[in-house]
Amino acid sequence: MYKPLPESVTIKKSGIHDLGLFADQDIKQATNLGMTHLKVGDTIFRTPLGGFINHSNTPNCEKIELHADSQEPFKKKWNLITRQNIKKGEEITLRYTFYDV
């Protein structure tokens, strides 16, 4: 069954902006939460995971660029990796690099 978010993450009302991603359980540092963005041609698309991440100047996650193999129709993809341990209930944040804040 397709699940747009990892089991450790949920969407809730955010104190940063509108809705955000929150840890549904404790998440360890260096956990790969999944793909947030992919690039097809010159266009960058957000996945459901990437659509709810709020910006922070002191983020607890970062986007890691992964190069797609020659069998994939897109050139680049980015996954969300935790930079530190994240406690249950804590908002998952990222420093925006694709969009103006």
Q: Tell me the pLDDT band of 70, cut-offs 50, 70 and 90.
A: low
Q: What are the tens digits of pLDDT across the range 74-93?
A: 678 899 999 999 999 999 99
Tell me which residue has tokens 């406690």.
87
CATH number of residue 17's parent domain: 2.170.270.10
Q: Are 76 and 67 in contact (CB under 8 A)?
A: yes
Query: pTM of the full predicted structure?
Result: 0.83
Q: Are 47 and 37 in contact (CB under 8 A)?
A: yes
Distance of CA 48 to the CA centre of its chain: 9
Q: What is the dihedral of CA 54, 51, 34, 80, to 10 degrees?
A: -30
Would the pLDDT of 101 be above 60? no
Q: What are the tens digits of pLDDT across the range 2-52?
A: 778 899 999 999 999 999 999 999 999 999 999 998 888 788 889 989 999
The edge-to-edge listing of strands for the beta sheet with 76-82 is 43-46, 32-40, 76-82, 61-67
User: How many domains, the chain?
Assistant: 1
In a domain, 56, yes or no: yes
Q: Tell me the pLDDT band of 96, cut-offs 50, 70 and 90.
A: confident
- Domain residue limits at 90: 9-94
The predicted pLDDT at position 11 comes to 95
In a domain, 84, yes or no: yes
In a domain, 40, yes or no: yes
In a domain, 61, yes or no: yes
User: Cα–Cα distance between 79 and 45 in angstroms, integer?
Assistant: 13
In a domain, 2, yes or no: no
In a domain, 3, yes or no: no
